[in-house]
Amino acid sequence: MLVVDSLTVVLGKAEVLKGIDLVAPRGVTAVLGINGVGKTTLFRALAGLYPFGGSVTWKELGVDPPTPVTGVGFAPQEVPTTRVMTCHGLLTYLAVLDGKPRDEAMVVADACLTYVGLAEERNKRSHALSGGMKKRLGIAQALLSEHPVVLLDEPTSGLDLLQRRSILDLIQDLGRERTVLMSTHMASDVIEAADRYVVLTNGSILTSGSTDSLDVAALERLITDAAQRGAA
């Protein structure tokens, strides 16, 4: 499980995240909140892109001590593509940057494309993909490191109803094998795909819990409450 203890992030003179405590076991944990509450900052810190205070560790059940987390899989909200590289070429390049030998990188790239349903798009230029396919490519990119923790920043943003349902199905499947954190501002995403939720407001966690007994209306009330507290 992923264990986040007293995580703080200061950008410039602003304390953007304020003592985040979070435990995420295998499955899907949704980080929920309106725009600007710190969801992307949290994911970038967990991915090692921002310096932070506190600790982020990985704890295997029955194994002590926990180990520091490095090299997690991360799919940003805006998936990077290129007019030059094919989908397979781009993933191979990223896997080589991650430290894999080229032959291994090519195999892993193919496996990731197949997993997310893009095997037939293998030789298509990555910039030519549809919005839904680009989101799938981002998830494939996050899987290249083969790390048990995968971070998906707003994986359904900008998608139509069918594309969104397809991505949520993929996320649920991924959560059967790994610890997945996905950020979203949509309560329906949480109910449909997540096992647990965390509500962020003003850089802090307002509440968290299981999605078992929640519905969309209840979550939307939590988001509204969080937004009002953040504005206070």
125 in a domain, yes or no? yes
- Angstrom CA distances, 41 to 38, 135, 163, 209, 224, stand at 5, 19, 26, 21, 21
Does residue 71 or residue 164 have the better pLDDT? 164
Does residue 212 or residue 231 have the better pLDDT? 212
Q: How confident is the model at residue 9 (pLDDT cuts 50, 70, 90)?
A: very high
26 in a domain, yes or no? no
Place of tokens 């996050």: 142
Torsion of CA 84, 47, 200, 1, to 10 degrees: 130
Q: Which two tokens stand for residue 125?
A: 């230029």
State how many domains the chain has: 1
Distance CA 219, CA 121 (A): 37
Neighbours of 209 (CB within 10 A): 12
Neighbours of 177 (CB within 10 A): 11
131 in a domain, yes or no? yes
Torsion of CA 173, 179, 183, 186, to 10 degrees: 40
* Residue span of the structural domain in which 142 resides: 78-146
The DSSP bridge partners found for residue 59 are none
Q: Which two tokens stand for residue 20?
A: 């985040």
**Backbone phi and psi for residue 14, each to the nearest 5 degrees, phi listed first:** -100, 130
Cβ-proximal residues to 182 (8 Å cutoff; 6+ apart), any chain = 28, 29, 30, 31, 151, 152, 153, 155, 171, 189, 193, 194
Residue whose C-alpha is closest to residue 72's, from 57, 86, 60, 62 = 57
Q: What percent of the chain has pLDDT over 70?
A: 95
pLDDT at 231: 57
Q: Across residues 118-144, what is the average pLDDT?
A: 94
The DSSP bridge partners found for residue 183 are 31, 153
228 in a domain, yes or no? no
Q: How confident is the model at residue 202 (pLDDT cuts 50, 70, 90)?
A: confident
pLDDT at 67: 75
Q: How confident is the model at residue 100 (pLDDT cuts 50, 70, 90)?
A: very high
